[in-house]
A and B are shown apart, each in its own frame.
Chain A
Amino acid sequence: MSKIIIENSIVESNERINSNVYLLKVTSPEIASQIGVGQFCNIKVSDTDYPLLRRPLSICDVEDDKLFFLYQVVGVGTEILSRKMKGDRLNILGPLGNGFNIQDDFETAIIVAGGIGIAPFPFLIKKIMNKNIITYVGFKTKADIIDYGLKNCKYSTDDGSLDFKGTCVDLLKSEGKTLNSKCKIFACGPNSMLRNLKEFCSDKNITCEVSLESVMACGFGICQGCAVESKNDDNYKLVCKDGPVFNINEIKI
C-alpha cells in the first residue's frame, strides 16, 4: 500500500452541478501523484471540533496536481463543504483504501451507477479508454441526471421521466443478454441496487467489483467503525482498509 499523506490542499473551484451535487477541485500535488482509481480521501471540512470527523469522498478524477471530488450534500459536513470557495484550504488525508482492479483480463467494462454512485467512475473511465465501456446510470428523476466524465451512457429514472423507467440494474437486465465472460462490471450505488446486481452477476457468472460507502471516522483502519459482513468467513471486513472496492461475492450486502 502506498504512503498515506495529510496535505493542506487549496480549493480551485467548487461548482454546483445540480440541486445538491457539487464538483470540488483542489490542488493537492502529493496525493494527486499517488492516488489510484477507486481509492478515496478523508476530508476535514472545518478547522473546529464541529463537525468533528473527516468526510470520506471517492476520488472522482485526477488532472496533474488536481483532485476532483463529486459529492452530494447530505448533512452538515457536506453542507459546509459546499460553501468552500476558491482559495480556501482543506486538510485532506489520502490516498486511502483499495481501488478497482483494472489489470485483469476483460474487453468490456460495464459501469453500473446509482445516483451519486457515479462519483468514482470518471477517473476509472480515463484509465480504461482502450476498453469498450458501457455505462448504466440511474437517477430518481430527470432533473437529477449527471453525466460528468461518463462515457456511452444509458439512463434510467425511477419515475420514467427520462429513458428507461426503473433502476439501472433493471436496465442492465433488460439489455444484458449479450454479456459474456469478457465483460467486467464496476458498480457503485445504494445497497438495494447492489443486492439486485449481485443476483444478476451470479446468474450470469460475471465478475463484478463494487465500491461501498460507509460511515467511518478514521479512514485507515483504526476506528473499526466501517464494518461490513464478509461472505467467506464469519468475520467483518473494513470498508476503509479492506475496501472500499470489493469483489461483489466477498461481502454480504
Chain B
Amino acid sequence: MDINLSVNIGKLKICNPIILASGTVGYGEEIAKFLELSKIGAIITKSISLKPRKGNPPQRIVETPSGMLNAIGLANVGLEEFITNKIPLLEKFNSTVICNIAASSIEEYVECTRTLNDFDIIKAFEINVSCPNVREGGLIFGNDLSAVGKITNQVRAATEKTIIIKLSPNNSQISEFAQVVKDEGGDAVSAINTLVGTAFDINTRKPIIKNITGGLSGPAIKPVALAKILEISRKINIPIIGLGGIMNWKDVIEFMIAGASAVQIGTVNFINPFAAYEMIEGIANYCISNSIKNISELTASYQL
C-alpha cells in the first residue's frame, strides 16, 4: 500500500509531518550529523533577531520530573550572521527551512521577515510571540491579543510566504489567540510553546535557573499541549502544528488526532537525535496497519 505522508500547512507542503522545533536544533549543523535533513518534513531555525543575542547567564537548564526547564534567552547569531553563514549551510542540507523570528518590537519582526523573505530556501516563517524567557517581546506580546493581531497583520504585509504564529500556553484561552491570527491573515499556529515553571535548591533556597523561571518542556507537558490543540481545533478553522513533549511516533499520531496537521519535536532531539527517523517510520507503519492512505486524514479525527 502506498502511504502519503505529505501534509500542507498554508502554502507550504512538506514531505512528512515531522518538523524539528525551533531552539532545539540550532541552524541544523549539529543534528545533520545524525539526520539527513532533506528526509525530515522541515527544520525550524533557532529564533533569529535583528541583532545577535548572547542569551541568559548560566545556569540555563534543569531537569524536572519527565521534563526540563530552560531559560536560554533566545541566544542567536543575529540576522546578518544568519544570512552570511547559516543560510548557505542550510542550502547545502537541502532541507525545508522555516525561519523562526523573535523580536522586541513589531518593527523588528517586520524588518527580519522582509529581509529574509528574499531567500528562496526559507519557505515559511514561524513568529515567536511566546518565549517565556526574555523580558521584551516574548510573553508580553504572547499574552496580548491585540499585539498578536498587530504582529500577524504587519508580518503578513511583509511576506507572501506561509506565516505560522507560535502560541503560548500561558494564558487561559489559547483559541482566542488562534482566532486573531486567522483574522489577521496568519496561515497557521504552532501550539504550544513552553509553560512557565521554576525549581528551587532546597539548601540555598535559590531558584536553580539563574533567570528564576524557565520554560517547561518534555513529556511532562504533553497532556497540556493536547488539550490546547483540541481547544483550538474545536473552535477555530486554522491549521495547527502541534508540539509539546512528543517523544515517539505514538505521540505524533495522538497529536494529529487531537487536531494537528503536523508536529514539531524538540526536547526529544536532545536525548535521541535519531527520533525524527523513528517517528517517520512509526507513523508510516501505523498508516499501513490502519489502512490510512493519507496521513492528513488523521488530523482532528477525534471521536468525542
Contacts and interface: CB of A to CB of B under 8 A. Distances in A.
Contacts of B34: 4
Contacts of A220: 30, 33, 273
B60 interface: yes
Given A3-B33, A6-B273, A220-B30, A52 B67 contact: yes
B31 interface: yes
Nearest to A230: B54
A190 interface: no
Given A215-B59, A222-B30, A50 B75 contact: no
B201 to A, nearest CB: 12
Given A4-B33, A222-B26, A225-B70, A217 B57 contact: no
Interface in A69-95: 93
Given A49-B66, A49-B247, 14 more contacts: A4-B34, A44-B271, A49-B219, A52-B267, A52-B271, A93-B273, A217-B267, A223-B270, A224-B26, A224-B60, A227-B56, A227-B57, A236-B75, A241-B30
B116 to A, nearest CB: 21
By secondary structure, the A interface counts as loop
B61 interface: yes
A224 B271 contact: no
**Interface size bracket, A side:** 20 to 34
Most buried by A among B61, B65, B267: B61
Contacts of A93: 273
Interface residues of B, number: 36
Contacts of B272: 6
Nearest to B66: A49
Contacts of A214: 58
Interface in B247-278: 247, 267, 269-274
By secondary structure, the B interface counts as loop
B62 interface: yes
Interface of B: 23-26, 29-31, 33-34, 54-63, 65-68, 70, 72, 75, 218-219, 247, 267, 269-274
Interface string A200-221: 0000000000000011111011
A223 B70 contact: yes
A34 to B, nearest CB: 13
B72 A225 contact: yes
B66 A222 contact: no
Contacts of B66: 49-50, 52
Pick the 10 closest A-B CB pairs, nearest first.
A225-B61, A218-B270, A217-B270, A221-B30, A49-B66, A49-B219, A227-B58, A224-B72, A225-B60, A222-B30
